[in-house]
Structure 1
Amino acid sequence: MSTATQMQVKIRLPGGPLFDGEVIQINAVAQDGAFGILPNHTDFVSALVPSVLLLTQPDGAERIFGIDEGLLVKSGHKVEIAVRRGVESHDLETLGHTVDAFFEAVEDDERIARSALSRLEANMVRRFAGLRKDPTP
């Protein structure tokens, strides 16, 4: 096994990528607690819980993400992270507000979509009910 100093990390959302780049350390939270990953860590899979995901880049810069539940897969020097919802923030102090605003907007969009779907379903039921009426006088 080669000794590496970096990992290639990809964070993916259902709608597309959230992050793709080189990192030297990952800090995440699973159901059984927080953990850290360095480039030569053994391969593994972990279910992530809603939490803060912290990535340290080679230049020492930290990338902070608020994530919903997800899955982390480390294989060799590549780490794939798939999350339902996630958002990046510049610092921990503003992360709470950023996450709240983002998730609130997503919930509003989901509420609008559910409402539109309900209207479509009601319209379909009315049309099918109209087809069942006897057309003879």
Structure 2
Amino acid sequence: MLSMTLRVLLPFELFVDETAVARIVIETAQGAFGLLPRRLDCVAALVPGIVTYEAEGRGEVFLAVDEGVLVKCGDRVVISVRRAVRGKDLARLRDVVEQEFLTLDAQQEDMRAAMARLESGFLRRFATLQDHVS
């Protein structure tokens, strides 16, 4: 039987290192799609959602993942995301995605906006200081 190797990478750890994976289902901005061992090589941008894979001897495994990227090359599939949570209860994992990952993304967006305001204020003050020095 053909199979794949799946690795899920977080910024500071190897979260999943699974061999003998028969299939993987991921979520992208264009919708969900599946990967089988003979699928052509590909790269996909992932959105926060559920990754499902079937590993020999373990059955279906569910992961809630943050946005990231998937690369399939031959029989190797690597998923790199900022955060991931493993679980058996799909409803609970869906809640994790909606409450934790999407809320954190909104907070990070607010922080980026505040930093941009601070930077632009600094640049304006610096420009007026340059005008006074000249």
Query: What is the TM-score with the length of structure 2 in the denominator?
Result: 0.68
Q: Does 1:87 align with 2:75?
A: no
Task: Return the offset for 1:112.
Answer: 1.5
CA distance in 1, matches of 2:64, 2:111: 24
Identity of aligned residues (%): 21
Where structure 1 has 5 or more consecutive residues not aligned to the other structure, the ranges are: none
Aligned residue type for 2:75? H
- What are the equivalent positions in structure 2 for 1:43-122 lying under 5 Å apart? 43-45=40-42, 47=44, 50=47, 51-67=49-65, 71-82=69-80, 87-90=84-87, 91-100=89-98, 101-122=100-121
CA distance in 2, matches of 1:109, 1:70: 16
Report if aligned partners of 1:87, 1:98 keep a CA contact under 8 Å in 2: no
Misfit runs of 4+, over 6 Å: none
CA distance in 2, matches of 1:33, 1:26: 10
Report if aligned partners of 2:41, 2:73 keep a CA contact under 8 Å in 1: yes
CA distance in 1, matches of 2:67, 2:133: 52
Where structure 2 has 5 or more consecutive residues not aligned to the other structure, the ranges are: none
CA distance in 2, matches of 1:45, 1:34: 12
CA, structure 1 residues 21+126, in 2 after alignment: closer, same or farther (shift >3 Å)? Answer: same
Query: What is the TM-score with the length of structure 1 in the denominator?
Result: 0.67
Task: Return the offset for 1:114.
Answer: 2.5
Report if aligned partners of 1:74, 1:80 keep a CA contact under 8 Å in 2: yes
When the two structures are aligned, how many residues end up with a matched partner? Answer: 128
Task: Return the offset for 1:32.
Answer: 6.9
What RMSD, in angstroms, separates the aligned Cα atoms of the two structures?
Answer: 3.1
CA distance in 2, matches of 1:127, 1:54: 52
Q: Which has the larger radius of gyration?
A: 1
Aligned residue type for 2:112? A
CA, structure 1 residues 114+48, in 2 after alignment: closer, same or farther (shift >3 Å)? Answer: closer
| Cα deviation code 1:45-100 (max 9, x no counterpart) | 153564432012222243323446655433232112345x6533412111221002
Question: For 1:19, which of 5, 16, 21 is the aligned residue?
Answer: 16
CA, structure 1 residues 94+112, in 2 after alignment: closer, same or farther (shift >3 Å)? Answer: same
Report if aligned partners of 2:66, 2:101 keep a CA contact under 8 Å in 1: no
CA, structure 1 residues 11+49, in 2 after alignment: closer, same or farther (shift >3 Å)? Answer: same
